[in-house]
Structure 1
Amino acid sequence: MLNSITELLPPHVSDFVQTFPTVDIEKLEEVRMRIGQPIECLFSSKPIYSSALFSEEDSVYFLNQLSQYSMYAFEEELQKGYITIQGGHRVGLAGKTILENGVVKTIRPVSSFNIRVARQKIGVGEKLATELYDQRMGWRNALLIGPPQTGKTTVLRDLARIVSQGTKKIPSNKVAIVDERSEIAGSINGIPQHELGTRIDVLDGCPKAEGMMMMIRSMSPHVLIVDEIGREQDAQAILEARHAGVVVMASAHGRTYEEIAKRPVFKRLLELNAFDRVIELGRVPYPGYVKRVRLANQVATG
């Protein structure tokens, strides 16, 4: 599974990553490389460092591998600050930004890389699916919340698969994914790298609000899935989807229902009954653990 990562790394970095036993590799979350610093491998939030440093030459090597020696064709990815590679893994980039008319044009030089290991956990959304599906009413609108690395995207991905494929008790439905950061489907050239079923349409790399409206108009989905909402434009698009009769499943950063209900964008969505359920996720005992499912028809106050 990590071959698509290790084959791009400088040899000594690849060797370091592959020294870990298989049982540990299965828990690998990130590989971080910073010029002048040891390589960091993050296992279940516990970092382990190499004895060797990551050099400027290593950075150039890795960039050439990522861009296939065509930095000109790589400019769009540098502008976004990340690139999705084979297998759905995402490489975040940081360094010196170059602005044009106040907008980031590129990052040159790149001094830091963060490879987030993508793992599809088949079945992680099944228990939640029974909560979100009603035999009489169908799928419920849901907002998944949690701090970073609590499995929001992983659970959304599996819910997309379940809605698309169906189960013995749940019929399959058309699903549209607006994947602005290429994390849910992990698409390469528009083709999802994860197992999502046959009734999935993905709009990759498109801003969420615009993408939601495009999908509603062009793909007639039954369920619309979008990751990490938070802007007013996102809220308006979700309300438009609801008015069009489309079920929305989304995620957002937040620790509790009460916390997000105080933010203006989410307060409005909850007041207007955009979601039927708010699901709080946690990392313990595992990422994607459902801590609490709240009815979303009453806004928390105080």
Structure 2
Amino acid sequence: MGTQRVTDDLDRLLELLPEAVREQLQPEGARQQLLEVVLDLGRVPEARYPGRALALGSTPLSREDLAAVVARLGQFGGDNRAGIERTLHRISAIRNRQGEVVGLTCRVGRAVFGTVAMVRDLLDGGQSLLLMGRPGVGKTTALREIARVLADELERRVVVIDTSNEIAGDGDIPHPAIGRARRMQVARPELQHQTMIEAVENHMPEVIVIDEIGTELEAQAARTIAERGVVLVATAHGNALANLIKNPTLSDLVGGIQAVTLGDEEARRRRSQKTVLERASEPTFPVAVEMHSRQRWAVHTDVAATVDQLLRGLKPRVQERELTPEGGVQLVDPPQSSGLLRPPSQRSFAEQPVSVPVPMPAASDREASAAEASPPPETSAEHLQVLCCGVPPRVVEEAIRSHGWKARVVEDLSEADVVLSVRLGLSRQPSLRRQARDLGIPILVIKSDTLPQVTRAMARLLRRQATETAAEVTPPDRASQDDELAALEECRLAVEQVVVPQGRPVELLPRSERVLRMQADLVRRYRLRSDVFGEAEMSRLRVFPR
């Protein structure tokens, strides 16, 4: 396997820039790893590299300089993008209210040969492939290389749907980086789905390559193409498969989700509620890749099985692949943490499908400020032992490892010093909350299980341990209030989303006697009937339609 080879035609992009900016970028060191050049009216031009930015001179950009660059470019398309013929560079415009260009983002396009080694074996299988990842991770670069390999090495009939001319460059003649693959340009971005269908009907492709499926119409067109036996290779918005499942617009790409009512016997066998979420159909893309970085990808070789596991709250098996400096590919063993909560003598709720999806409060990453995430004072105390309730242990372990904190995750409540839970975690496991209260173990409730939220919470817990002040920790009474609010919200959603519109009964989660009375009162306000089933800790309310 050969190493990566890069071609970028950077000189042709630099020719468009103002002379002062061009001189700043002449040294070889200034060109290496250059991502984009930003030209904003009245500001100093800026060159951006991975993880840093560099000012190009000290003179702000004038209106004349900006107009000269626009004149060399020619006309922008409906998506405010322009290009340089037979190159992969992209220039995007920012306009004012009058439609005048007041800023340009000149993005460097590079053809990188060798990235396809990460998924070369998947291309031989003849299955549709979906690429996901954050912006700038290299999705379009990989897509371009995949199109070339399919057309030249595997001799397939490949058609590239090039909406913004990012895959095959600007101009009528496509860039050599896509090999013998044919390219269809799209007049306007909103017409991409029509061009996808047109390609299949008119040009008999074996493979369709698409960059950025982002609308419901495009997702429907992709399913139509797949059902006709044409292989799809595409990218989609979203960092991971779990994000795609939650996206109502694009979830059909991985099979979609639907609420299903189980029979009594099946619900008992699964030890779950009667209304659960399940995959609606076969995925449009049987294989998916999460691009964590340019050198590390996670491959889901069976998307259907992965989606089923995620909907059941299980951690799917993922194949981690890493590109070596020599251009080879090696498998990386993923962390062995199951990511599931295992309270004492009780099955994790994460394995139980929920009856009604309850929206979680949005959590901003900015809430985890640097001061709160800083390591607490070192003490001679033993490691803080944390039991996770609704929070994946791997997230807590990552926060501990990245800051070098003296803490660890335990699975038994009797060993725990504190319980770390999301707002709905304790409401789903009332017995755990009662046991924590009886044992005098404090509970810290956080908004969500994101890494910044968990980092912030761990810093608070460790500072409390160091100073022996419990002001930051939520007492059981506060957790009880959160439990009641979550229970009422669950009841409201069940009534308004299932019982009333669909005319189906819904069985809610087990609650305490006090919470059951509150839920029953809420149901009566909707003029509906309810009844309590189960005994002791498994008592739960069932809501019936009119």
Structure 1 equivalent of residue 245 of structure 2 = 261
1:57 aligns with 2:64: yes
TM superposition shift of 1:269? 2.4
Q: What are the ranges of 5 or more consecutive residues in structure 2 without an aligned counterpart?
A: 1-8, 256-281, 314-546
Aligned to 1:70: none
Q: Tell me how far apart the structure 2 counterparts of residues 92 and 235 of structure 1 sit (CA, whole Å).
A: 26
Contact 1:186 1:194 in 2 (8 A): no
For the 8 Å contact 1:126–1:159, the answer to whether it is kept is no
Task: Please say if 1:13 is aligned against 2:21.
Answer: yes
User: Could you list the per-position Cα deviations for residues 89-112 of structure 1 after superposition, in whole angstroms to 9, with x for gaps in the alignment?
Assistant: 1100002245xxxxxxxxx31111
Q: Which amino acid aligns with 1:150?
A: V
Go from structure 1 to structure 2 and tell me whether the alpha carbon gap of 1:293 and 1:132 turns closer, same or farther (over 3 Å shift). farther
What is the deviation of 1:237? 0.7
Q: Which residue, 227, 231, 238 being the options, matches 1:243? A: 227
- The one-character-per-residue Cα deviations of 1:178-233 (angstroms, maximum 9, x if unpaired) are 01011011131x211242222x1111134320111110011111110001102111
Matches of residues 37-52 of structure 1 in structure 2 within 5 Å? 37-50=43-56, 51-52=58-59
Who is 2:94 aligned against?
Answer: 94
More strand by share: 1
Render the CA deviation track for 1:131-175: whole Å, top value 9, x for unaligned: 3322xxxx2111100011011100010000000111xxxx31010
Cα pair distance change 1:219/1:26, threshold 3 Å:
farther
CA RMSD of aligned residues (A): 1.7
> Structure 1: where are the runs of 5+ without partners?
68-73, 99-107
Secondary structure of 2:130's partner? Answer: strand
Distance 1:240 1:126 in 2: 29
After TM superposition, the score normalised by the length of structure 1 is 0.84
Structure 1 range deviating more: 44-53 or 57-66: 44-53
Change in CA separation of 1:54 and 1:194 when aligned onto 2, cut-off 3 Å: farther
Aligned equivalent of 2:178: 196
Q: Percent identity?
A: 27
Which protein has the bigger helix share? Answer: 2
CA contact (8 A) 1:120 1:194 kept: no
Structure 1 pair 201–61 and aligned structure 2 pair: CA distance change class (3 A): same
Q: Which of residues 112, 120, 123 is equivalent to 2:103?
A: 112
Confirm or deny that 1:205 pairs with 2:189: no
Q: CA deviation at 1:125?
A: 1.1
The answer to whether 1:183 aligns with 2:166 is yes
Q: Say which SS state the counterpart of residue 125 (structure 1) adopts.
A: helix
Aligned to 2:36: 30
Deviations 1:49-88 (A, max 9, x none): 1222211111111111112xxxxxx2xx253211011312
- Contact 2:123/2:150 (CA < 8 Å) preserved in 1? no
In 2, Cα distance between equivalents of 1:277 and 1:292: 8
- In the alignment, is the contact (CA less than 8 A) between 1:187 and 1:204 conserved in 2? no
Contact 1:150–1:288 at 8 Å: present in 2 too? Answer: no
1:104 equivalent in structure 2: none
Contact map agreement 1:31 1:39 (CA 8 A) in 2 = yes
1:282 Cα shift? Answer: 2.2
Aligned-pair CA distance for 1:23:
4.5
Which residue matches 1:273? 283
Q: 1-side partners of 2:73 and 2:253: how far apart?
A: 40
- Following superposition, the deviation at residue 288 of structure 1 comes to 5.9
- Kept in 2: contact 1:179–1:202 (CA 8 A): yes
- Corresponding residue to 1:146 among 110, 113, 133: 133
Secondary structure, counterpart of 1:80 in structure 2: coil
Matching of residues 130-141 of structure 1 within 5 Å: 130-134=121-125, 139-141=126-128
Larger radius of gyration: 2
Q: Which has the higher contact order (CA 8 A, sep 6+)?
A: 1
Distance between the aligned counterparts of 2:88 and 2:122, measured in 1?
28
